Amino acid sequence: MNILEINNLKKAFAEKEVLKGVDLTVSSNTIYGFVGKNGAGKTTTMKMILGLMKSDEGKIFVNGKEVKYGDNETNRYIGYLPDVPEFYNYMNAREYLKLCGEISKMKSDDIKKRTDELLEKVGLAGEKKKIKGYSRGMKQRLGVAAALFSRPKLLICDEPTSALDPIGRKELLEILLEAKKETTIIFSTHILSDVEKICDEMAFLNDGKIVLSGKISDIKNKNRKNRYIIDSDGHNDELIGVFEGLRKISDDELELIDVTKLSNILEYMSNNDIKPLKIERVEPSVEDLFVEVTKQ
């Protein structure tokens, strides 16, 4: 089942078209990377999914129900983690989650059970100090717990790792991977390495449109190029002089684009007692693909 469907979504601010007809489908229990440069329209899209901003055209469906501006009915299916979550800093984590449960009108026993479960999940089970003393990473982890408290069918994460240090990012990504067992996650970001680590599917937003989307493995397969890296054990200049299509990318490595020449190069190296230290087929990274499609 598709937990989120976006059809022909358009939005302009004055003369600037931010979204020019976005179509997006997200299936259940996946982590979906929503990728774009800063200012590409990712946050605008998130706000319209939440019913906080009116679209100029198009429709959005969450769990099969249409999202309507100003009507938060579909938000009962959604948890939301902004890039900088805000809290009541005079509370501790347990007190804050208790408040989340009370707002959701949960029973007290259920609130305690869910609080214990989530604090353990995000690594804050033994933390008793007030939220005002939390690091940025701790606040993001508490933000995930709060967003997951009512067991949403869709968790929207808007640039959640953008301000975290490497350790904080790693911890948060691990928490999101674990959270996928109970919900679907929209992971909006411009940090492409994070997408590659945890996402099942992704969409590239550029110039107001989705320019590439699908399963990451399928996208890589369709856009794979026959590119090889060769370490010729100190014979780079010799090989470049013999074969066209080779270029030096470091003191030790050559790049070959024309795969038809690979067998000839290997034969030459064998005949001239040149030992290849490395011959590696290079897989396209998410960053490579994004740079390529945004240049078109």
User: What is the CATH topology of the domain spanning 228-295?
Assistant: Alpha-Beta Plaits (3.30.70)
Domain ranges of the chain: 2-221, 228-295
**Beta strand 184-189 with 278-281: parallel, antiparallel or unpaired?**
unpaired
- Integer angstrom CA distances of residue 103 from 70, 99, 146, 292: 19, 6, 11, 46
The rounded Cα 256 to chain-centroid distance in angstroms is: 31
Structure tokens at 92: 């501790």
Do 66 and 9 meet the contact criterion of CB atoms below 8 Å apart?
A: no
- Bridge-based pairing state of the strands 31-35 and 184-189: parallel
Q: What is the pLDDT of residue 226?
A: 67
Q: Which of 147, 165, 149, 167 minimizes the C-alpha distance to 157?
A: 147
How far is C-alpha 204 from the geometric centre of its chain's CA atoms?
Answer: 10
Question: Could you give the CA distance from residue 43 to residue 38 in angstroms, rounded to a whole number?
Answer: 9
Structure token pair of residue 47:
């706000």
Report the pLDDT value the prediction gives residue 193, as an integer from 0 to 100.
87
DSSP character for 220? Answer: H
- Cα 18 to chain centroid distance, Å, stands at 20
CA–CA dist 251, 263 (Å, integer): 23
pLDDT at 296: 57
| HSE-CB of 268 using CA atoms within 13 angstroms | 14
Cβ atoms of 55 and 209 within 8 Å: the answer is no
Q: Where are the beta strands (DSSP E) in 73-141?
A: 78-81
Q: What's the CA gap between 91 and 276, in Å, rounded?
A: 61
Q: For 43-77, b where at least 16 C-beta lie within 10 A, e where not — what string?
A: bbbbbbbbbeeebeebebbbbeeebeeeeeebbeb
List phi, psi (to 5°) of 107: -70, 150
Q: What is the CATH number of domain 2-221?
A: 3.40.50.300
> What's the rounded Cα separation, in Å, for the pair 97 and 77?
18
Token pair, residue 95, equals 């007190």
User: Which residues have CB under 8 Å from 258's CB, separation 6+?
Assistant: 226, 245
Q: Tell me whether strands 154-158 and 2-13 are parallel, antiparallel or unpaired.
A: unpaired
CA distance 146 to 133: 18
pLDDT of residue 188: 92
Print pLDDT tens along the chain (296 aa): 789 999 999 999 988 999 999 999 999 999 999 998 888 899 999 999 999 999 999 999 999 999 999 888 899 999 999 888 899 999 999 999 999 999 988 999 999 999 999 999 999 998 999 999 999 899 999 999 999 999 999 999 998 888 788 888 898 999 999 999 999 999 998 888 899 899 999 999 988 999 889 898 888 777 666 678 888 888 888 888 888 888 888 878 888 877 788 889 988 989 998 888 888 877 777 877 777 777 65
